[in-house]
Amino acid sequence: MKKIEAIIRHFKLEDVKNALSEHGIAGMTITEVRGFGRQKGHTETYRGTEYAVDFVPKVKLEVAISDDRSQAAIDTIIKAAQTGQIGDGKIFVSDLSESIRIRTGESGNEAL
């Protein structure tokens, strides 16, 4: 099993969600996050006082998925979230040692 964490643009969330759903991935978790990579922050001005805002708001999307379907999911996210501009975000993939459905106690791929 893999855990896919994708940091994406806010306005791409709907596209990514729909694309993943079309591939039969019905479960996901999203979080509002802030961070920075190559995309620079911006400056905000309040009554003439300037603040450099380094942390850019993004959405983090987490999907747990079986090994055989993970590459397809990654491709789907890339396709749906891409604009080609700096700031499109990143995808991190890690091994997932276990998953359990609380209602039934099922575990492993059964619980995804």
**Interface residues with another protein (CB under 8 A)?**
44-49, 51, 53
49 vs 97 by CB, closer to another protein: 49
CB 74 to another protein: min, Å: 32
Kindly tell me which of 14 and 44 has the beta carbon lying closer to another protein: 44
Q: Which is nearer to another protein, 50 or 68 (CB)?
A: 50
Determine which helix (DSSP H) or strand (DSSP E) holds 76, and give its type and residue range: helix 67-81
CB of 54 to another protein, least distance (A): 9
Specify the pairing of strand 90-95 against strand 56-65: unpaired
By C-alpha distance, which of 50, 52, 47, 91 is closest to 70? 91
Compare residues 38 and 46 and give the one whose CB is closer to another protein: 46
- Which residues are registered as beta bridge partners of 5? 62, 92
Q: For the CB of residue 84, give the shortest distance to another protein in the complex, in Å.
A: 27
Considering the complex, what minimum distance in angstroms separates the CB of residue 106 from another protein?
29
Q: Where are the beta strands (DSSP E) in the chain?
A: 2-8, 29-35, 42-46, 49-53, 56-65, 90-95
Between CA 50 and CA 9 the distance in angstroms is: 25
